[in-house]
Chains A and B, each alone.
Chain A
Amino acid sequence: MSPSSTDRSGRTTAAGLDLTTDERALLEGDRGAGTALAMRIVCGLASAVGASTLRPITSAHVDGCLYHGPSSLDFVRAVAADGAHVTVPTTLNIGGIDLRNPDTFLGPAAEGEHAAELMNAYVDLGCEPTFTCAPYQLPGRPGLGTHVAWAESNAIVFANSALGARTSRYGDFIDICAAVTGLVPDAGLHLTENRAARTVFRLEADEEVCDPSLLAALLGHVVGRRTGEDIPAVVGLDPAIVDESWLQAFGAAAASSGGVAMFHVVGVTPEAATLEDATQGRTDTRTEAVSVADLREALRELSTVDAEGALGAVSLGTPHMSAERLRQVADYFGGRRAAVPAFVSTSRVTVGENPRAATELVSCGVRIVTDTCTYVSKVMDPRGPVMTDSAKWAYYAPGNQGYDVVLASWRDCVDSAVAGRILRTEPQGV
């Protein structure tokens, strides 16, 4: 029988999979119908990707709490059957509404109610109500060589690249099934041999061509476009400019314009002390140059309008802003007041641990958005283009929400919010 066979109902069998007695018991319903369903999905994926065994995970990050329609609720209710519960520590990604400030939701009331119902259903399964797309900013993040099941493209790429944790590209459905069973297919990026760089990118521009965080966004966009789902390595960067915010911005950009689930920055990321480490000694890699012209093109692709004139709003914090950047942004506002609606998205945990920075921003007229994101949830009604420092926001917001967008450095975004019009000093060299 083929390892990926299905019976006539479409249900996948465990054919071709070498399951332990305990694993087989889950499939046979010893822990109830919900867990058995989760196990069928895990085994179905394992068969399809050619895994012969399953691997235990230590934690999970679940993206399925974002509402896509009635089927989102149908699924979580099916998984919850017979009291099923997550069996590993599980964090939750953003939902469709700021649960603690539901009045800020400007979309149809029913949509907001469904979004909240789904978020709460996942909490009822035992997931922690973190509601952040940056679980790597939470306490207890996974370390080098730890196997996890993370969903949300920017979280996946950060876990693999910056933390050296191991997760394949999980998404809706498989994320909670992995959390309930504690198991994933032993395949993909869980295996060392699949973590080698295939393409080497060299920046052929002065690093001071622009603000490091904007460089991260533009370079990530270019690398993602050219990489597809391969693993890239970036060489020739000064490690001093590559901090966690840089890796966050680069990864989010590359995972939006391409399917990048892991990258290496040679001399910085944990599996890339040297280029030979990053490529695992492979000699069949190709090398590509990224020029100033490529960065300029990326900036043009990620802005839908000319970078001057009227400004509708400013949105920072996609993916969710770190505590460090929250402090920097509050300091840079320095008590100046935003003249247009300004939004900072971050997690409720980061706000809770940094109340002063959050309070300072609010006193400058900034709206702090938690539990969701400004391109996913309808929380703004801009009367002009929106400025952002995020390549991911710039990539998705025009299609998702119909906003015009201008990409700029976060400092330019703050100065523009205060001025009430688009001011762009960066990138000087682009």
Chain B
Amino acid sequence: MSRAATILVGGEVTAPLKVLDEPLSFWGGFDSATGLIIDRHHPQFGDRLTGLAVHLPASRGSSSASSVLVEAVRAHTAPAALLLATPDQILLLGALVAYELYGRGPTVVLLETSHPIAERHPDPWPETRLTVTARGELQLHPSGARETQEE
């Protein structure tokens, strides 16, 4: 499966896909020291986002989320990619600053609203890896598929 999307920050990346069931505020909801979701009200409380391609259904929360994302990049706990349904300025800024300071950071991708990940169907996406190509194509590799190289 190959679908177009827009890379806002960063470049090609392949990582396991993680679809969040609810919006997450990185400030107060994500621990940059551990990479874990620490919002007790979030259905995926306790899950680790480090190194994953994380789909966020909507933006939420404080503008300090950008600082938390940069701190996570510094501490090597950040997601590998953020897949957004809307161009969330807060997370985008965090990613831009991370690249400026540390030369690395999550690839930030804006999905088309009709994209199956954005529509969260099928749900969930077990054991699926996702590649974002440099041209902004998204390729999903179901469990066991090994046609792409690890990052």
Residues of A at the B interface (CB closer than 8 Å) are 2, 4-6, 8-12, 37, 40-41, 44-45, 48-49, 63-64, 66, 68-72, 74-75, 78, 151-153, 169-174, 259, 396, 399-400
* Chain B residue with the shortest CB-CB distance to A399: B28
> Are A68 and B67 in contact, with the CB atoms below 8 A?
yes
Q: What is the 8 Å Cβ interface bit string for chain B, positions 25-45, against chain A (1 contact, 0 not)?
A: 000100010000000000000
Q: Is B17 an interface residue (CB 8 A)?
A: no
Q: Interface segment, B58-66, B111-119, B125-133, B141-149?
A: B58-66
Closest chain B residue, CB of each to CB of A2: B6
A63 touches B63 (CB 8 A): yes
List residues of chain B with CB within 8 A of the CB of A49.
87, 89
How many Å from the CB of A84 to the closest CB on chain B?
A: 14
- Binary contact readout B1-34 vs A (1 if CB under 8 angstroms, 0 otherwise): 0000011111100000000000000001000100
Q: Is the CB of B28 within 8 A of A400?
A: yes
Extra inter-chain contacts (20) besides given A6-B11, A49-B87, CB under 8 Å: A6-B10, A9-B103, A10-B10, A10-B11, A40-B96, A40-B100, A41-B93, A45-B92, A45-B96, A63-B63, A69-B74, A70-B74, A71-B74, A72-B71, A74-B101, A171-B90, A172-B64, A172-B93, A173-B94, A173-B96
Judging by beta carbons under 8 Å apart, are B6 and A75 in contact? no
Given A10-B105, A78-B101: A171 in contact with B66 (beta carbons within 8 A): yes
Contacts of A169 in B (CB 8 A): 63, 89
A48 with B11, Cβ < 8 A, contacts A171-B66, A399-B28, A400-B28 known: no
Interfacial chain A residues near B74, Cβ < 8 Å: 69-71, 74
Size bin of chain B's contact surface: 35 or more
Indicate the member of B70, B71, B98, B103 with the most A CB atoms within 10 Å. B70
Q: Which one, B10, B70, B89, contacts A45 given CB within 8 A?
A: B89
Decide if B100 touches A6 in the complex (CB within 8 Å): no
Q: Which residues of B contact A (CB under 8 A)?
A: 6-11, 28, 32, 59-60, 62-68, 70-71, 73-75, 87, 89-90, 92-101, 103-105, 110, 134
In Å, the complex CA distance between A405 and B7 comes to 43
Is the CB–CB distance between A48 and B87 below 8 Å? yes
- Contact assessment for B9 and A12 in the assembled complex, using a CB-CB cutoff below 8 Å: yes
CB–CB B67/A174 < 8 A: no
- Chain B residue numbers with a CB within 8 Å of A12 are 9, 96
* Closest chain A residue, CB of each to CB of B10: A10
13 contacts between A and B (CB under 8 A): A2-B6, A10-B95, A10-B103, A37-B100, A40-B100, A44-B96, A64-B67, A69-B71, A70-B74, A71-B70, A153-B62, A170-B63, A174-B89
